[in-house]
Amino acid sequence: MELLKGKAAMVTGGTRGIGYAIVKLYLENGACVALCGSRQETVDKALDKLRAEKPEYFEEENSRVIGLCPDLQKPEEVEKAVATVKETFGSLDICVNNAGVSARESLYTYKPEDFANTMALNVNAVFNCSQAAAKVMKEQGGGVILNTSSMVSIYGQPSGVAYPASKFAVNGLTKSLARELGKDNIRVNAVAPGVTRTDMVAVLPDEVIKPLIATIPLGRVGEPEDVANAFLYLASDMASYVTGVVLSVDGAART
Ligand code: NAD
């Protein structure tokens, strides 16, 4: 079943990991997708990978994929990217704010500029994209904004305080914007992944990852596809009465 047939989506952080899995699943479900990354080079690499796997998505007459690399911290660049999606596909129905960074630094050595940088991408950029997307969605009669939160937005984490703080803020944006934008037929939800097998997790040393897995009731880390499935449900009309939720996809991990 093509749950997103006729819809146009924009996915930030779409070049790899969870974002790339969302891009693929949305395309499989009939959507047109703007894959966004931080650099043209990584966007091109991701598009090449996708083209090799699914050349049919790139057919000249009805290509369903474009690549963009707006600076998400610059509202004017984000607005331009949103306008490009609308021009190319005719609408912007789904905006996935997925780009994010994390660092595990002790409070005692945390540099204020590192704290600010994490907030700038994980929170300010979500605000910028939500604002630009909501303007277009309101005009066209509705849409869906989805944010990637994290398990740590519920439990906190014992180091690298900017990351959990930023994801608590993402939940705040999600719940508040759901209430503000409901009247414009715009749903706003978040997915809170647990430990998921992506580059962000690959850099963690064994002594961190192994004890973590031991505490997960489902006995494994999540796959990007596990998380993407939640993004598919929330983007689709199957979730037409769901807004303001932070959906955990974490195997019941509680660390
Ligand atoms: P990843 O490092 O594999 O991918 C991060 C993505 O963000 C990449 O596409 C990258 O291009 C993009 N990005 C990074 N800096 C950027 C910038 N300055 N401007 C624009 N884009 C930028 O990570 P991932 O694990 O796939 O993470 C995706 C999201 O999932 C993040 O928001 C992350 O916080 C969240 N998350 C991940 C996990 C996990 O275990 N992997 C768990 C919970 C939440």
Encode pLDDT of 20-79 as tens digits.
Answer: 999 999 999 999 999 999 999 999 999 999 999 999 999 887 899 999 999 999 999 999
Residues enclosing ligand 1, CB less than 6 A? 12-13, 15-19, 37-38, 42, 72, 98-102, 121, 148, 150, 193, 195-196, 198-201
Pocket test for ligand 1, best of 72, 198, 208 (most atoms within 8 A of CB): 198
State yes or no: is 163 an active-site residue: yes
The active-site residue, picked from 20, 26, 57, 163, is 163
How many angstroms separate the CA atoms of 66 and 23, rounded? Answer: 11
pTM of the model: 0.97
How many angstroms separate the CA atoms of 235 and 126, rounded? Answer: 17
Intra-chain end-to-end CA distance of the chain, in Å: 36
**What confidence tens digit (pLDDT) does each residue in 62-75 have?**
899 999 999 999 99
Work out the mean pLDDT of the chain and round it to a whole number.
96
Residues of the chain with pLDDT under 50: none
Residue of the nearest CA to atom 18 in ligand 1? 38
Q: Kindly provide the b/e burial profile for residues 74-96, where b requires at least 16 CB atoms within 10 angstroms of the residue's own CB.
A: ebebbbebbebbbebbebbbbbb
